[in-house]
C-alpha cells in the first residue's frame, strides 16, 4: 500500500493512501463525501483501458488514510492534493472532482493556478457556493446543514442509510441501475470513516468557490445528473458551467448524484471524449 505523509498530529503522522496505475496523461480522481478512492471503480477501468495514468487517493479521514482530528477545510484538503501531485511529479494532469471533490479542484486553481494541470472536470460537484446568503439567493438555507450535523452527531449510521438512498435514488433506480450490494458497499465505506472528519466536512461544504472558479483557464468539463437530490443541477453544475468561460456542460438525463455508478457508461463516454480533445 502506498502512502504520502502530509503532516503530523502530536505523535502520529498524517498519511494519505493513494494508488497510481497505468501510463500516459495523468488523471487524478478526487472522491466525494463520505466515500474513498474505491468509489471510482467504473472510471478507473475505462481510463486505464483508454491509455491514461490513473491516480486515486483517499481524503484525510476517509478510506485507508489517517484520521486526524483537524484539517477538514478546503485549504488544508487542497494542500494535501498539492503535496500528492508534487510527490508523484505530475505534469499536465487532469483533475477530476466528484461531489465534495469538486471543491478541491476549484480551490486548487484558486491557490495554485494551473500549475501542473491541463484540464479540469467537475462531476456532480459542490461549487460554486451552496450556502444561501443575500448575495447568493440560489443557495441552501444554513438550517439544512445544521440539521445534517445534528443527525450525524445523533446517529451517523442511520443518517448514512438515508443519505445513500437519495445518493442513488434507490426508490426509482434500485434493482435496475444500482443493486442493494452497491448501496451496502457505499454504506460500509462511509461507516468506516472518521466520525469527526465526516462531521467536520459538512462545514467545509459552505465554502464560497466563486472566486476560485474565475481563475480556471484550462479546458473544463461539467457533468451533472438532472435528478440529483444531493446537489441539484440548478444550484451547482449549471452555475459552475456558467462561471467558467468556455466550459462544457453535459447533463445526464434521469441520473442521480451517484451517476458514476448508475450511469457510468454515459459518464465515461463524456469523460473520455473530453480527454481526447
Q: How do residues 110-119 score in pLDDT, each as one tens digit?
A: 999 999 999 9
Extract the runs of DSSP E, i.e. beta strands, from the chain.
Answer: 2-9, 12-21, 26-30, 53-57, 93-98, 117-123, 220-225, 248-252
pLDDT band at 204 (very low <50, low <70, confident <90, very high): very high
pLDDT value of position 267: 98
**Candidate list 99, 124, 194, 247, residue with the active-site label:** 99
Pairing mode, if any, of strands 2-9 and 12-21?
Answer: antiparallel
Is 186 assigned a catalytic role?
no
pLDDT band at 30 (very low <50, low <70, confident <90, very high): very high
The answer, yes or no, to whether residue 4 has pLDDT greater than 90, is yes
Is 153 assigned a catalytic role?
no
From CA 52, how far away is CA 56, in angstroms rounded? 13
- What percentage of the chain exceeds 70 in pLDDT? 100
2-276 maps to CATH 3.40.50.1820: yes
Is 257 assigned a catalytic role?
yes
pLDDT value of position 231: 97
Q: Is 35 helix (H, G, I), strand (E, B) or coil?
A: coil
Residue 261, C-alpha cell as written in the block:
455508478
Q: Is 3 helix (H, G, I), strand (E, B) or coil?
A: strand
Tell me the average pLDDT across 198-210: 98
What are the tens digits of pLDDT across the range 133-168?
A: 999 999 999 999 999 999 999 999 999 999 999 999
Tell me the average pLDDT across 168-181: 98
The answer, yes or no, to whether residue 39 has pLDDT greater than 90, is yes
From CA 64, how far away is CA 11, in angstroms rounded? 19
Strand partners, 221: 121, 248
Residues 170, 276: contact at Cβ < 8 Å? no
**Candidate list 31, 224, 228, 263, residue with the active-site label:** 228
Q: Which residue has the higher pLDDT, 277 or 194?
A: 194
pLDDT value of position 229: 97
Average pLDDT score, the chain: 98
pLDDT value of position 1: 83
**Which residue ranges make up each domain of the chain?**
2-276
Amino acid at each position: 500500500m502506498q502512502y504520502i505523509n502530509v503532516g503530523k498530529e502530536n505523535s502520529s503522522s498524517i498519511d494519505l493512501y493513494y494508488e497510481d496505475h497505468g501510463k500516459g496523461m495523468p488523471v487524478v480522481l478526487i472522491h466525494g463525501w463520505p466515500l474513498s478512492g474505491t468509489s471510482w471503480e467504473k472510471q478507473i477501468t475505462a481510463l486505464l483501458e483508454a491509455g491514461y495514468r490513473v491516480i486515486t487517493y483517499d481524503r484525510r479521514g476517509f478510506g485507508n488514510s489517517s484520521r486526524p482530528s483537524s484539517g477538514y477545510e478546503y485549504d488544508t484538503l487542497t494542500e494535501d492534493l498539492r503535496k500528492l501531485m508534487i510527490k508523484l511529479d505530475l505534469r499536465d494532469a487532469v483533475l477530476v472532482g466528484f461531489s465534495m471533490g469538486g471543491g478541491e479542484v476549484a480551490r486548487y486553481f484558486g491557490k495554485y493556478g494551473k500549475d501542473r494541470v491541463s484540464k479540469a472536470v467537475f462531476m456532480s460537484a459542490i461549487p460554486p457556493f451552496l450556502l444561501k446568503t443575500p448575495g447568493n439567493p440560489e443557495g441552501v438555507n444554513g438550517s439544512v446543514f445544521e440539521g445534517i450535523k445534528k443527525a450525524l452527531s445523533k446517529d451517523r449510521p442511520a443518517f448514512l442509510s438515508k443519505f445513500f438512498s437519495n445518493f442513488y435514488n434507490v426508490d426509482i433506480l434500485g434493482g435496475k441501475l444500482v443493486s442493494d450490494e452497491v448501496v451496502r458497499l457505499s454504506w460500509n465505506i462511509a461507516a468506516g470513516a472518521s466520525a469527526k472528519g465526516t462531521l467536520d466536512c459538512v462545514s467545509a461544504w459552505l465554502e464560497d468557490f466563486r472566486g476560485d472558479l474565475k481563475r480556471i483557464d484550462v479546458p473544463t468539463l461539467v457533468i451533472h445528473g438532472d435528478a440529483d437530490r444531493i446537489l441539484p443541477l440548478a444550484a451547482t453544475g449549471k452555475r459552475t458551467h456558467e462561471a467558467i468561460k468556455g466550459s462544457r456542460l453535459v447533463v445526464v438525463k434521469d441520473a442521480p448524484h451517484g451517476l458514476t455508478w448508475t450511469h457510468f457508461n454515459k459518464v465515461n463516454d463524456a469523460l473520455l471524449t473530453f480527454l481526447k480533445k
